[in-house]
């Protein structure tokens, strides 16, 4: 029968199991012989699920396997796409950035947190050690059912340990307090709260960070069960807080992202310092029955009881040395704390000065940008003004040309009208003259006397002066007349045509 006294083997087994072999969300166990079952009360949900070595690659979520986890995480992100290959799925990094963009606004007014205890949280998980090989999941469910509802039961028969998750923390604490050290099938069980690895400790917080703001900021990494600010006995802010996630991957992501980058919660430039945190809720301490009494050191130390050392004795001398060593440690610790506080104040002052300089430079840059913008607008206005002036000049030039063309057309029309008036006047004068000549010709024909032969025509002096020709008596010559009319006079034939036209 195995020893009931605790040893380091159980802690190592539990640590390794928590780090790499048990995933309560995925229900996986890489060790052979391990089993995992979900149950509620005395009943079962879905029966037993066996997880054996079938060629799976073991996980390593512990401190030694940070690079492996990161590599696995990146490889998993590269494989996270749809089977059709058309649309890639959102990676956890993308989801985190999306959530961060949603909550990056003002945090002056935050809704109060629901402090009601959540059922089956990670804080309600008990570690059960020193389990016999013949103990199964049903036996554990039957053993713990009187103290509350059980959601998850895990048993590793090779390492003789298991885990049980209760509905509420009070039931888990009650079961631990009442059943710790009790026998189950011939072996006394060892019960304590199991470190789930889902909690982180946030440091370097300002005094204005509350529970609500802490919850509001770290919810981008995953679902949170509890977020609290640590205060001292006077209720003063200590600058630290505890965040407990539902899943272990959320806690690992928060630690990784805050280490690789600077995560700010407020307008202050003090980044959050995040580190893993194991919630220890073992109020029972170490009972005497759990100490290994077979150890020779136990026998040697327990032979002498409590006492005060005698002055100037051997015990008093070395006791004072131990006290001096602790006092030296306390003094150095206090000096280091003071130095740290001074460095913090110095950094705060430098930060404020640098922030002022940065804001001043930003204002100057904005002023330069505005001046450049105003200068650009001024140049654009001047260009538009020049273009408008050129357009106005072109319009005036075009109007002037149109006016000159119109004046030229009007002058041309006036000259044409004047010319036509002159032609009409000359035509009327010619018509009057023709009429006068016709009248004179008529008078001349009535008063003219002929002598001799009819072909012998003697023109009077008026005709000679008018036509400037000497008309003979020969009818074959040009200018001959027949009964006092000129036959070849072209002007007499022109006037009837003009009279017909007008």
Q: Between 92-103 and 66-79, two packed helices, what is the crossing angle to 10 degrees? A: 90
Local structure of residue 23 (DSSP, 8 states): B
255/221 Cα distance (integer angstroms): 10
* pLDDT for residue 332: 95
Tell me if domain 8-191 and domain 199-311 are identical in fold.
yes
For residue 139, give the nearest of 183, 192, 173 by alpha carbon. 183
Residue 371 pLDDT > 90, yes or no?
yes
Instruction: Give percent above pLDDT 70 in the chain.
Output: 70
Is residue 22 within 8 Å of 124, Cβ to Cβ?
A: no
Helix (H) or strand (E) holding 360: helix 314-447
Among 162-166, 173-177, 278-282, whose mean pLDDT is lowest? 278-282
CATH 3.30.830.10 fits 199-311, yes or no: no
The model's pLDDT over 420-449, given as tens digits with 9 standing for 90+, comes to 998 898 889 888 888 888 888 888 777 655
* pLDDT for residue 214: 93
15 vs 406 pLDDT, higher one: 406
111/103 Cα distance (integer angstroms): 13
Residue 275 pLDDT > 90, yes or no?
yes
Residue 355 pLDDT > 50, yes or no?
yes
Q: Is the pTM of this model over 0.85?
A: no
Give the pairing type, strands 183-184 and 187-188: antiparallel
- HSE on the CB side for 385, CA within 13 Å? 6
48 exposure class (CB count in 10 Å sphere: 0-12, 13-18, 19+) = middle
Among 284-298, 432-446, 467-481, whose mean pLDDT is lowest? 467-481
7 vs 397 pLDDT, higher one: 397
- Provide CB contacts within 8 A for 130, sequence distance 6+: 2, 4, 10, 160, 161, 187, 188, 189, 190
The model's pLDDT over 86-113, given as tens digits with 9 standing for 90+, comes to 445 778 888 888 888 888 888 888 888 8
* CB neighbours of residue 463 within 10 Å: 19
Measure CA 341 to chain center: 37
94 vs 367 pLDDT, higher one: 367
* pLDDT for residue 252: 93
* pLDDT for residue 250: 92
Residue 297 pLDDT > 90, yes or no?
no
Mean per-residue pLDDT over the chain, rounded: 75
Residue 16's pLDDT band (cuts 50, 70, 90): very low
296 exposure class (CB count in 10 Å sphere: 0-12, 13-18, 19+) = exposed
**Token representation of residue 175:** 């079961």
Is residue 273 within 8 Å of 204, Cβ to Cβ?
A: yes
CATH for the stretch 8-191: 3.30.70.330
Name the E strands within 150-249: 150-156, 161-166, 183-184, 187-188, 190-193, 199-203, 224-231, 237-245
Residue 471 pLDDT > 60, yes or no?
no
* pLDDT for residue 110: 87
Residue 312's pLDDT band (cuts 50, 70, 90): confident
**Token representation of residue 231:** 């205060």
68 exposure class (CB count in 10 Å sphere: 0-12, 13-18, 19+) = middle
Q: Determine the Cα angle at 71 with ends 67 and 74, to 5°.
A: 140
Residue 200's pLDDT band (cuts 50, 70, 90): very high
Q: What DSSP letter does each residue of 102-147 carry, written as one string?
A: HH-S--SS-PPP--SPPTT-GGGEEEEES--TT--HHHHHHHHGGG
The model's pLDDT over 100-148, given as tens digits with 9 standing for 90+, comes to 888 888 888 888 888 787 788 878 888 899 888 888 888 888 899 888 8
Q: What is the domain partition of the chain in residue ranges?
A: 8-191, 199-311, 312-343, 360-447, 453-501
161: left (phi over 0), alpha (psi -120 to 50) or beta: beta
110/230 Cα distance (integer angstroms): 19
């Amino acid at each position: 029968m195995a020893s009931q006294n605790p040893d380091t083997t159980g802690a190592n087994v539990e640590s390794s199991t928590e780090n790499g072999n048990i995933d309560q969300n995925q229900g996986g166990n890489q060790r052979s012989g391990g089993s995992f079952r979900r149950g509620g009360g005395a009943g079962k949900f879905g029966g037993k699920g066996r997880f054996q070595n079938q060629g799976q690659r073991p996980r390593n979520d512990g401190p030694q396997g940070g690079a492996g986890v990161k590599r696995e995480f990146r490889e998993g992100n590269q494989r996270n796409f749809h089977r059709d290959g058309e649309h890639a799925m959102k990676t956890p990094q993308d989801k985190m950035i999306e959530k961060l963009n949603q909550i990056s606004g003002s945090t002056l007014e935050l809704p109060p947190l629901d402090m009601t205890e959540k059922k089956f949280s990670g804080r309600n998980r008990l570690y059960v050690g020193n389990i016999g090989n013949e103990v199964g999941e049903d036996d554990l469910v039957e053993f713990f059912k009187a103290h509350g509802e059980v959601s998850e039961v895990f048993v590793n028969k090779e390492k003789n340990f298991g885990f049980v998750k209760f509905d509420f923390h009070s039931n888990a604490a009650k079961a631990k307090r009442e059943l710790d050290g009790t026998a189950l099938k011939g072996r006394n069980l060892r019960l304590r709260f199991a470190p789930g690895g889902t909690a982180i400790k946030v440091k370097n917080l300002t005094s204005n960070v509350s529970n609500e703001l802490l919850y509001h900021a770290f919810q981008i990494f995953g679902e949170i069960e509890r977020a609290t600010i640590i205060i001292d006995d006077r209720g003063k802010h200590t600058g630290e807080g505890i965040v407990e996630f539902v899943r272990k991957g959320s806690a690992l992501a928060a630690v990784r992202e805050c280490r690789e980058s600077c995560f700010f919660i407020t307008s202050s430039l003090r980044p959050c310092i995040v580190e893993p945190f194991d919630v220890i809720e073992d109020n029972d301490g170490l009972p005497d029955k759990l100490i290994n009494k077979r150890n020779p050191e136990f026998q040697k130390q327990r032979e002498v009881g409590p006492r005060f050392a005698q002055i100037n004795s051997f015990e008093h001398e070395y006791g004072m040395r131990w006290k001096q060593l602790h006092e030296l440690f306390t003094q150095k610790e206090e000096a280091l704390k003071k130095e740290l506080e001074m460095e913090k104040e110095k950094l705060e002052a430098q930060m404020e000065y640098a922030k002022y300089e940065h804001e001043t430079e930003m204002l100057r840059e904005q002023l330069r940008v505005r001046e450049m913008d105003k200068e650009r607008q001024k140049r654009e206005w001047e260009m538009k003004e020049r273009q408008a002036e050129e357009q106005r000049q072109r319009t005036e030039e075009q109007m002037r040309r149109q006016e000159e063309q119109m004046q030229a057309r009007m002058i041309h029309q006036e000259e044409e009208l004047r010319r036509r008036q002159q032609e009409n006047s000359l035509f009327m004068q010619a018509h009057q003259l023709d009429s006068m000549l016709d009248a004179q010709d008529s008078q001349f024909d009535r008063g003219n006397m002929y002598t001799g032969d009819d072909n012998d025509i003697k023109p009077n002096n008026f005709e000679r002066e008018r036509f400037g020709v000497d008309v003979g008596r020969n009818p074959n010559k040009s200018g001959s007349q027949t009964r006092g009319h000129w036959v070849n006079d072209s002007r007499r034939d022109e006037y009837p045509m003009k009279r017909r036209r007008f």
